[in-house]
């Protein structure tokens, strides 16, 4: 308990000019006028000890008519300060419960080098966990179901006297989930590509996610020992996605490795250390810890358990921490080898118990000197979260976009394109990029074929993007997730309509229109062939209501394969007008019999947009 005496030299992360001193809104310090809000001529006159008449006269000479009680904007305050011999600086007041927004500024002499945090990403079965296995000289893969990562792990390795922290993720989803919560945890991404397989859909998604997070990418071409390995082909494929090897004049280091046979691992680690050295990664260990939750779960024996990555400061045993909207006292802290540790320095991952509730991956945490402070801040954060759930997220709609363009607030628009074929996706991407102009730039942050997935929703939410679907439809679950995340999905069957819609929004010509409203979805469970009638789809209504005579489309693996009309609807032997969610029915489709089990029949109406 001695660490809570005056011997604890760590500093709090809450700045002295923060929430506790909100009443003090300005001061002069060594010729610099520091203020936190706009003020009137009278207030500025008092703070700078300058007659108000002199300020009014100066502004009058600069063609600005003001009165003594008029509020001045930041530009005018700056102009007055410079005229009367002061430098100026506006500081942002951040409430202590919003510790994610606190701008922690450390003196250069307080900073020490910290290990790089590296995320291993790539396509499934390309060897991500085998690479971690080789780096740690351990046997992680053997303990994982089917040799595929089931959860996030965080590990440290020391190379040439320097530590590197590795995050082994089950793909890019967790990476994006953390980034969508504002958690910039990764310093470097290692992209694993199998030399005998090449660039695959998840490889492309990993590249898009790493680029969106603006972190350097090191490529590890794995399985070079396998028959059919073609390293040069991989390099050529990667260049199509703006991953250009150094040998071709690019900025990406490419390492040829075999994780299974331990070939090239040393060179890869040296490349990571080189990139880390160029980035000059530093942190201040002499303050209370601040960082991010990597993973969390409820342990039956120990209660809420969380893996925390310390990003700045030092986390110590028995510290009081606020994580997301919960708090607790650290009762035990262990490293990746389950060894108990007393403290964790910057870039160190540790598993802790002692929290009141299970936090979310990507939640920020901060340590505090006292339980009272931690408890108060956790309560305020829980209250703020409840209020924030009513507000909009960062993802935008086309109408928002139109309004923001008119107000001069938008210069970059992020778009995700999903289409039924790769050719369609690339054609739409090329056409959309041509719409960019001097005022508004369109960025296609991800473009691929296939159904709209949860990963697409998370990327859109994290990047404030709009999703355009061409000949694809989201499932009802994906639509609900998009609605919850306030992500707009725009669906089209004709490419010119898609391009005209975006062009009209950019030009401020967006008009009210008729839009589709999905009324119901039914899954085909069995097929019955009846002469003179055709194929009857024995179906189960999974969402909404299916009405007889409705317009419909047939979805197979998320791709639209047919559009038409429901010609008959039956419950047992009776013709019915509609069948609601949770009931079975028989459906026939007008002029169409090529049905398969697990097809989705989706009905819709055209309605006026509100």
The reply to whether 254 and 299 lie within a common domain is: no
Residue 307 has pLDDT above 70, yes or no: yes
Q: What is the CATH number of the domain that holds 246?
A: 3.40.50.300
Confidence grade of residue 6 (pLDDT, cut at 50, 70, 90)? very low
* Residues recorded for the chain: 610
Count Cβ atoms within 10 A of the Cβ of residue 527 and give its class: 0-12 exposed, 13-18 middle, 19 or more buried: middle
Last residue of a domain, one of 228, 260, 280: 280
Residue 522, domain member (yes or no): yes
More confident residue, 283 or 13: 283
Q: How many CB atoms lie within 10 A of CB 389?
A: 9
**How confident is residue 512, by pLDDT bands cut at 50, 70 and 90?**
low
So what's the pLDDT on residue 146?
43
Domain co-membership, 208 together with 273? yes
Q: Decide if pLDDT at 91 tops 80.
A: no
Q: Is the pLDDT of residue 173 over 60?
A: no
pLDDT at residue 397 tops 70: no
Read off the tokens for 233.
Answer: 């082909």
**Is 104 among the domain residues?**
no
Mean pLDDT of the chain: 82
Domain boundary among 483, 511, 539: 511
Q: Domain holding 560: CATH number?
A: 2.40.30.10
In a domain, 12, yes or no: no
Is pLDDT of 21 > 80? no
Whether 6 maps to a domain, the answer reads no
8 vs 432: which has the higher pLDDT: 432
Closest CA to 542 of 520, 518, 516: 520
Q: Which domain range does residue 593 map to?
A: 516-608
Using the predicted structure, report yes or no on whether residue 168 has a pLDDT greater than 50: yes
Pair (417, 298) in one structural domain: no
237 in the same domain as 135: yes
* pLDDT on residue 145: 40
Q: Which of 15-24, 481-490, 545-554 has the lowest mean pLDDT?
A: 15-24
Residue scoring higher pLDDT (498 or 5): 498
Residue 13 belongs to some domain of the structure = no
Q: What is the pLDDT of residues 198-220, one digit of tens each?
A: 888 878 888 888 888 788 999 99
pTM: 0.58
Beta strands at 600-608 and 320-323: parallel, antiparallel or unpaired = unpaired
Distance of alpha carbon 328 from alpha carbon 305, whole angstroms:
11
Give the dihedral sign, CA 488/489/495/497: negative
pLDDT value for 148: 39
Smallest CA-to-CA distance from 27 within 90, 70, 71 is with: 90
* 210 shares a domain with 270: yes
DSSP 3-state assignment of 436?
coil
Q: Which residues contact 12 (CB under 8 A, 6 or more apart)?
A: 287, 288, 368, 369
Asked whether residue 9 is domain-assigned, the answer is: no
* Domains in the chain, number: 5
239 and 137 together in one domain = yes
DSSP 212-224: HTT--EEEEEE-T
SS3 content of the chain, % helix, strand, coil (to 5): 30, 35, 35
Could you tell me if 41 and 84 lie in one domain?
yes
Q: Do 414 and 495 share a domain, yes or no?
A: yes
Task: Say whether pLDDT at 23 is over 70.
Answer: no
* CB < 8 Å & 24+ apart, contacts of 104-108: 104/13, 104/15, 104/284, 104/287, 104/290, 104/312, 106/283, 106/284, 106/287
Position 584 scores a pLDDT of: 93
Q: Same domain for 143 and 177?
A: yes
Q: Which of 116 and 27 is assigned the larger pLDDT?
A: 116
Q: Is residue 433 situated within a structural domain?
A: yes
Tokens of 422: 């790769």
- Tell whether 256 and 126 lie within a shared domain: yes
CATH number of the domain that residue 466 is part of? 3.40.50.10050
| Best CA proximity match to 546, nearest among 514, 502, 509, 576 | 576
Predicted pLDDT at 319? 93
pLDDT of residue 158: 83
**182 and 262 belong to one structural domain:** yes
Domain end (from 280, 306, 335)? 280
Q: Do residues 48 and 69 both lie within one domain?
A: yes
Q: Measure the CA–CA gap between 351 and 249, rounded to whole angstroms.
A: 42
């Amino acid at each position: 308990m001695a660490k809570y005496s005056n011997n604890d030299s760590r500093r709090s992360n809450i700045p002295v000019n923060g929430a506790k001193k909100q009443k003090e809104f300005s001061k002069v310090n060594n010729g610099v006028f520091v203020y936190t809000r706009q003020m009137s001529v009278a207030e500025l006159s008092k703070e700078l000890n300058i007659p108000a008449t002199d300020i009014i006269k100066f502004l009058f000479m600069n063609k600005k008519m003001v009165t003594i009680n008029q509020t001045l904007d930041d530009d005018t305050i700056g102009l007055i300060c410079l005229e009367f011999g002061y430098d100026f600086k506006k500081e942002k007041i951040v409430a202590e419960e919003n510790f994610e927004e606190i701008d922690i500024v450390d003196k250069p002499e307080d900073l020490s080098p910290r290990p790089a945090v590296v995320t291993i990403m790539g396509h499934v079965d390309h060897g991500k966990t085998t690479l971690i296995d080789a780096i740690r000289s351990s046997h992680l893969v053997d303990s994982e179901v089917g040799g595929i990562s089931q959860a996030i792990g965080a590990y440290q390795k020391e190379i040439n006297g320097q530590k590197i922290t590795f995050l082994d993720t089950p793909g890019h989803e967790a990476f994006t989930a953390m980034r969508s919560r504002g958690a910039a945890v990764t310093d470097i991404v290692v992209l694993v590509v199998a030399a005998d397989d090449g660039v695959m859909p998840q490889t492309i998604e990993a590249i898009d996610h790493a680029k969106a997070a603006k972190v350097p990418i090191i490529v590890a071409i794995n399985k070079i020992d396998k028959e059919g390995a073609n390293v040069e082909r991989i390099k050529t494929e990667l260049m199509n996605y703006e991953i250009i090897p150094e040998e071709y004049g690019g900025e990406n280091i490419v390492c040829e490795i075999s994780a299974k046979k331990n070939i090239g691992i040393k060179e890869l680690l040296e490349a990571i250390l080189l990139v880390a050295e160029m980035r000059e990664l530093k942190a201040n260990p002499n303050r209370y810890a601040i960082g991010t939750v990597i993973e969390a779960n409820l342990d039956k024996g120990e209660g809420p358990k969380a893996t925390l990555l310390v990003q700045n400061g030092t986390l110590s045993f028995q510290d009081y921490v606020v994580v997301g909207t919960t708090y607790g006292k650290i009762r035990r802290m262990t490293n990746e080898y389950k060894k108990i540790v007393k403290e964790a320095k910057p870039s160190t991952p540790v598993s802790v118990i002692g929290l009141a509730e299970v936090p979310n991956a990507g939640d920020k945490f901060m340590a505090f000197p006292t339980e009272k402070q931690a408890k108060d801040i956790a309560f305020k954060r829980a209250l703020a979260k409840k209020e924030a759930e009513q507000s909009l997220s960062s993802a935008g709609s086309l109408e928002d976009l139109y309004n923001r363009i008119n107000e001069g607030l938008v210069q970059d628009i992020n778009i995700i394109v999903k289409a039924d074929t790769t050719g369609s996706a690339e054609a739409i991407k090329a056409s959309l990029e041509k719409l960019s102009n001097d005022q508004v730039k369109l960025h296609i942050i991800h473009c691929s074929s296939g159904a709209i997935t949860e990963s697409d929703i998370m990327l859109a939410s994290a990047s404030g993007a709009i999703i355009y679907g061409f000949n694809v439809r989201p499932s009802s679950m994906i639509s609900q997730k998009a609605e919850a995340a306030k992500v707009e999905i725009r669906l089209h069957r004709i490419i010119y309509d898609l391009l005209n819609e975006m062009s009209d929004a950019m030009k401020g010509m967006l008009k009210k229109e008729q839009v589709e409203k999905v009324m119901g979805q039914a899954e085909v469970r069995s097929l019955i062939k009846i002469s003179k009638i055709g194929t009857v789809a024995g179906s189960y209504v999974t969402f909404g209501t299916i009405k007889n005579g409705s317009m419909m489309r047939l979805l197979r693996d998320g791709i639209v394969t047919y559009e038409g009309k429901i010609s008959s609807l039956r419950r047992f032997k009776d013709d019915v007008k509609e069948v609601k969610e949770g009931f079975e029915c028989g459906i026939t489709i007008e002029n169409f019999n090529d049905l398969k089990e697990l097809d989705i029949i989706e009905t819709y109406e055209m309605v006026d947009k509100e």
